[in-house]
Amino acid sequence: MITSVYVSNEKIQVLTGEKDKKNRLDVKAVMYATLPEKAMANGVITDELGVKEAVQKIWDKYNLPKKDVHLVIDSGTILNKKVACPVVPKESLPNIVKDEFKDVEGFANFLFDYTVIEDGRNGEPLLFANAVGKELVSAYVRVFNGLGISISRINTGINAEMALIAANPATAHDTQIVVNLDPTSLTSVLYIDGKYSFASRSRLIEARGSEASRMEIVRALSSLIQFARSENSQKPVKAVYVCGMVESEADLCPKISAMLGCPVSTLPACDNITCTKDRNKAAFLMADYTYALGNML
């Protein structure tokens, strides 16, 4: 059984599920608990006691496993970079990633990781490299360890989303933009032929659901679409997928689509990812539990 946890700026999301021998995922249970106001800011824990109490509450309520928990975190303080590298032994890759961030202020206070985007068989070897502050990670570990919950794996939000895009046949090979909304920010990721190309994060000022907020989102997406065209004019963006919408944004996708002249929707259902064997229930999770779901793959 896989237990995946994502602590957003508003709530704790927990999914449990299993993968079969063909790597198909079935989610068995979906849980969440709201966080105290201002307990989180930009993915950084600002009130450890408040977050700890919320985690304790959801763990006690659902009697969740305390071992082998997979945690996913997302913050504007996490540094991401697409790195071209030579064909080298796998053991050399961590040092290549570290060297890419050597000029970052406070280099010694970061942890580094990577995911292979392209292994070199079909083009230039590429890595998705991350630099995450040690204190950012330590705060999460303190919260969970303090409750006797053992974290066996820590992932980043974009990396989890990349796994979700790759696992869905409807998105695995397309040129597209995936947008994740939270109350105060928008994270957009451009995928070319299904592979990570570029990410941007914008601060949201206007009240979600308002016309002004819709225009904020359109401006951010328009800029990324223009960037995609400049990067690869032969492969236009085929779709925009929006995750994290609130109730007042029920008409957001068609209105953005009309403004951008591009199909806009939530992520499509697929047979590889189900929720209690129901693919349409899983499509709901793709839209609202994107990082927690991708973290299970």
Give the pLDDT confidence of 126-150 residue by residue, as tens digits.
999 999 999 999 999 999 999 999 9
CA atoms of 243 and 285, how far apart (whole Å): 9
Extract the tokens encoding 48. 């450890």
Task: Output the pLDDT for position 121.
Answer: 86
Distances (CA, A) of 244 to 85, 206, 288: 34, 16, 5
CA atoms of 108 and 224, how far apart (whole Å): 32
Give the pLDDT confidence of 116-125 residue by residue, as tens digits.
999 988 888 9
Give the pLDDT confidence of 54-77 residue by residue, as tens digits.
999 999 999 999 999 999 999 999
Measured distance between the N- and C-terminal CA atoms of the chain, rounded to whole angstroms: 12
At 192 the three-state DSSP class reads strand
Higher pLDDT, 84 or 123: 84
CA atoms of 213 and 245, how far apart (whole Å): 12
pTM of the model: 0.96
> DSSP state, 267?
P
How many Å separate Cα 201 from the centre of its chain?
12
Give the pLDDT confidence of 155-188 residue by residue, as tens digits.
999 999 999 999 999 999 999 999 999 988 999 9
Residue (of 23, 18, 21) closest to 271 by Cα position: 23
